[in-house]
Amino acid sequence: MPEVKLACGQVVSVEEGASWADVAAAAGIEAVAALVDGELRDIRDPIQEGRTVKLLKLTDPESLDVLRHTAAHILAQAVRRLFPGVKLAIGPAISDGFYYDFDFPSPITREDLPRIEEEMKRIVAEDLPVERVFLPRAEAEELLKKEGEVYKLELLSEIPDERISFYRQGEFIDLCRGPHLPSTGLVRHFKLLDLAGAYWRGDATRVMLTRIYGTAFPSAEALEQHLKWREEARRRDHRRLGPELDLFSIHNDTIGAGLVLWHPKGARVRHEIETFWKERHFEGGYQLVYTPHIGRARLWQTSGHLDFYREGMYSPMDVEGQEFYIKPMNCPFHIAIYKSRTRSYRDLPIRYAELGTVYRYERSGVLHGLLRVRGFTQDDAHIICRPDQVEEEIQRVLRFALSLLRTFGFSEFSAHLSTRPAKFVGAPEDWDRATEALRRAIEAEGLDYDVKQGEGAFYGPKIDIDIEDSLRRAWQLTTIQFDFNLPERFDMTYVGEDGREHRPYMIHRALLGSLERFFGILIEHYGGAFPVWLAPVQAVVLPITEGQIPYAEEVAGKLAAAGIRVEAWTRGGKTLRYLIREAQLQKIPYMLVCGAREAGSGTAALRLRTGEDLGPQPIEGIISRIQAAIASRGPEL
């Protein structure tokens, strides 16, 4: 009798031709799926002898994808019942739930979602067994043709197998690789969330389908928690907090879409970021440069931007008969600085850094708050070095990037290494050397990363680091990329030890990415409650009655003299409760309450934005406490 080993160590013997379900039955486990040597399998699949299997219960995190995939099928079944003539595309589980793409005969709206949800509940209540069926290719094709499932037919044509896997539940059958739960009755806790357009196969030249998003969980509590989290995420949205905290605004009707106004408070945060950034760059061996916003057409011809990046650039302007373009990147200017004199091998590495404002054309549909805009300031730098310095430079810059990001409170990164694409410039040996340097640097830092094979730019391999916004969407902040193109195009050289001209390596890098995007992510990361060193207003002094206004001003003056950003709220006519609520909503770290008692004793009652009331404190003590919090650049108040 064949034997199978369970992850818990138990060995189970079963009949010849048994399935994982039989194993589960023998072991007395209520399993809904099987994890066979790390691979997710359908519980109905025949066993593979000698393998180690983890039998997954509905509540195991590994079965979440199976649950959601089945939920997607139930969605499709419900839609089929309600909308005759609908065509099915694909319906996978995704990180927070699932979706299914449909081609509806006539458009549906959000109002249709509750109806669909009701029908789904009915299908769950019917508790239909989910069966796996294999059809020979010809039969599969016939079935799909009969149903008019053109999208499924296209998918089928790309499946190499002769035995085609389908799943059937009640009257519904779908081309699908699985795995699925044993029955629809197990999908009890789900919700449809959104409706959106999506191109068939993600291809803008093909038809637009209707995508229905939903989510599903094994328990009502987990679903509830997820819905609460979505609510919380909405509250953290930088587009909501920006105006609420008076940080920035965007006016596409009067100023233009994707163009950001930094209000005094947002500008203050930006100033703190920039000051810190410059300090760290000077310490890190960078030299600061400033370059213009526009340049002649010939510059962009030489750089190749007009050939390869024209659709990202704005139309030229005419200056005394010469064409000028507003810059989409800073590199040609930095290169011009490099080339302004002859460079020796002794000068390298050279690291030019600039908070350079660039403008790029983005289609209106992709603009998104501060996270995707048309005018933005990159924290840009170009490192020009000798081949023998590449290794160390890459390690330095990556370590530098991570240390910056960590100071801003980020600790979870996802890194990507993009390698040589089919179309590329430069010598393969250079690519290999650069790619390996990048890989070793990531590994030396102990980062998790994935390799995007062939997804590097044509001019060089790169590392990208993504950070997520409040909805867990990943946005690229840090990018470190080699460039084997521009040094060639601009004929950059240095004189080597041998007295001859050599071609330097060039590395582009942006660490925070752009100040706009970084600020947006930062707002969401902190939910608007910035750490003390970044808070636009660090402390407010609140007089209880108008009698304490002079004292409040005196206290504020002492804090200001100690370098603390402080406001005295002395407009009068407001109760203490009112002022505290205002300060809380503005997420100001420290509130100094001054009533008659405090004025008489040279103290202030200190309240933190956490809600903690520390009672009367000597002013000097408050000042040193705040100064320590600023200097630490940490989250503590």
What residues numbered 7-66 form the site for RNA, per CB under 7 A? none
User: Parallel, antiparallel, or unpaired for β 97-103 and 87-88?
Assistant: antiparallel
Q: Which amino acid is at 210?
A: T
Query: Which residue of 61, 365, 446, 499 would you call a contact of RNA, by CB under 7 A?
Result: 365
In angstroms, the CA 373 to CA 364 distance is 9
Please tell me whether residue 327 adopts helix, strand or coil conformation: coil
Q: Segment near RNA (CB under 7 A), from 4-12, 42-50, 105-113, 283-291? A: 105-113
Query: Which residue of 229, 276, 309, 345 would you call a contact of RNA, by CB under 7 A?
Result: 309
Is 189 among the residues known to form the active site?
no
Considering beta carbons, is residue 19 or 470 the nearer one to RNA? 470
Burial class for 34, CB neighbours closer than 10 Å (0-12, 13-18, 19+): buried
Does 312 engage in binding with RNA (CB under 7 A)? Answer: yes
Is 360 among the residues known to form the active site?
yes
Q: Segment near RNA (CB under 7 A), from 144-152, 279-287, 305-313, 404-412? A: 305-313
In angstroms, the CA 110 to CA 108 distance is 7
Contact between residue 421 and residue 455 where contact means Cβ atoms under 8 Å apart: yes
Name the token pair of 16: 């010849």
Is 368 among the residues known to form the active site?
no
Considering beta carbons, is residue 31 or 89 the nearer one to RNA? 89
Query: Which residue of 85, 114, 129, 547 would you call a contact of RNA, by CB under 7 A?
Result: 547
To which residue do tokens 């001209």 refer?
Answer: 501
User: Parallel, antiparallel, or unpaired for β 590-594 and 539-543?
Assistant: parallel
Considering beta carbons, is residue 254 or 411 the nearer one to RNA? 254
Catalytic residue among 41, 508, 525, 565: 508
Name the token pair of 571: 């407009």
Please tell me whether residue 273 adopts helix, strand or coil conformation: helix
Shortest Å distance, C-beta 64 to RNA: 19
Is 379 among the residues known to form the active site?
no
Query: Which residue of 129, 136, 243, 454 would you call a contact of RNA, by CB under 7 A?
Result: 243
Q: Which amino acid is at 62?
A: E
Query: Which residue of 10, 52, 225, 252 would you call a contact of RNA, by CB under 7 A?
Result: 252
Taking residues 183 to 202 in sequence order and writing x for each that binds RNA by CB under 7 A, - otherwise, the string is: -----------xxxxxx--x
Query: Which residue of 167, 217, 459, 518 would you call a contact of RNA, by CB under 7 A?
Result: 459
Is 307 among the residues known to form the active site?
no
Name the token pair of 230: 């979505």
Does 369 engage in binding with RNA (CB under 7 A)? Answer: yes
Is 121 among the residues known to form the active site?
no
Does 616 engage in binding with RNA (CB under 7 A)? Answer: yes
Does 457 engage in binding with RNA (CB under 7 A)? Answer: yes
Beta bridge partners of 465: 415, 478
Q: How many helices (H) and strands (E) does the chain have?
A: 19, 33
Buried b (16+ CB within 10 A) or exposed e, 79-90: bbbebeebbbbb
Q: Which amino acid is at 562?
A: A
Contact between residue 384 and residue 348 where contact means Cβ atoms under 8 Å apart: yes
Could you report how far apart the first and last alpha carbons of the chain are, in Å? 66
What residues numbered 207-236 form the site for RNA, per CB under 7 A? 208, 210-211
Query: Which residue of 261, 317, 319, 585 would you call a contact of RNA, by CB under 7 A?
Result: 585
Buried b (16+ CB within 10 A) or exposed e, 98-114: bbbbbbeeeebeeebbe
Q: Segment near RNA (CB under 7 A), from 24-32, 116-124, 298-306, 513-521? A: 298-306
Is 382 among the residues known to form the active site?
yes
Catalytic residue among 22, 73, 152, 378: 378
- Considering just the CA atoms, what is the radius of gyration of the chain in Å? 31
Query: Which residue of 47, 384, 438, 605 would you call a contact of RNA, by CB under 7 A?
Result: 605
Total count of residues recorded for the chain: 637
Query: Which residue of 1, 11, 366, 422 would you call a contact of RNA, by CB under 7 A?
Result: 366
User: Parallel, antiparallel, or unpaired for β 322-326 and 317-319?
Assistant: antiparallel
Q: Segment near RNA (CB under 7 A), from 7-15, 45-53, 431-439, 584-592? A: 584-592
CA distances from 348 to 338, 368, 434, 437, 483 (A): 11, 40, 17, 18, 16
Does 591 engage in binding with RNA (CB under 7 A)? Answer: yes
Query: Which residue of 92, 615, 621, 635 would you call a contact of RNA, by CB under 7 A?
Result: 615
Give the residue numbers annotated as catalytic, written as ranges. Answer: 331, 360, 378, 380, 382, 462, 508
Residue ranges in contact with RNA by CB under 7 A: 107, 109-110, 194-199, 202-204, 208, 210-211, 239, 243, 252-253, 257, 303-305, 307-309, 312, 328-329, 362-369, 457-459, 471, 473, 485, 544-547, 572-578, 580-581, 584-585, 591, 593, 595-598, 605, 607, 611, 613, 615-616
